[in-house]
Structure 1
C-alpha cells in the first residue's frame, strides 16, 4: 500500500491537467505565473514539455488556501 501512495504522489501532470485541476485557467495565465515565479514548480523534460508533480501541486494549493498560516 505504501508503494501505491508514493506512486500517486510522484505522478507527473501535464500542463493541461494542471490547468484543469485549477478550474480551467488559461494556458497563458499559467505561463505568466511561471514568468512571475508564482506557479507551482515544474520539471522540464528533454523534449521541452513541462510536468508538475502531483505532490508539488497539492502543496502549492495548500499554501494558497484561505486561512492558511503564513
Structure 2
C-alpha cells in the first residue's frame, strides 16, 4: 500500500502545493470554493488526494 497516495493532505500541505496563504484556503472554504475536507475529532482538517485531484480538474479552463 502506498502510504503517500492514501494519506490525506493537511491544510499546510494543500497551501504549500498551491503556493497560497492559509487564510486564502479558509476564505475559499467559507465561499464553498475549496475541495471537500474531512474534519477530524480534534478539529483539524484533511483533504483526500482524490478530492484534491478532482477539485483541480474541475478548475481546468476548457477554452
TM-score band by shorter chain is: 0.7 to 0.9
Aligned to 1:60: 55
Alignment of 1:11 with 2:4, yes or no, is: no
Q: Which runs of 4+ in 1 moved over 2 A?
A: none
Aligned to 1:21: 17
Which structure 1 residue ranges, 5 or more long, are not aligned?
none
Using the size of structure 1 for normalisation, the TM-score is: 0.79
Alignment deviations for residues 18-69 of structure 1 (CA, whole Å, 9 cap, x no partner) = 01111x101001000111011001000000100000000000000101217x
- Unmatched runs of 5 consecutive residues or more in structure 2: none
1:50 aligns with 2:45: yes
TM-score, normalized by length of structure 2?
0.87
The count of residues paired between Structure 1 and Structure 2 equals 62
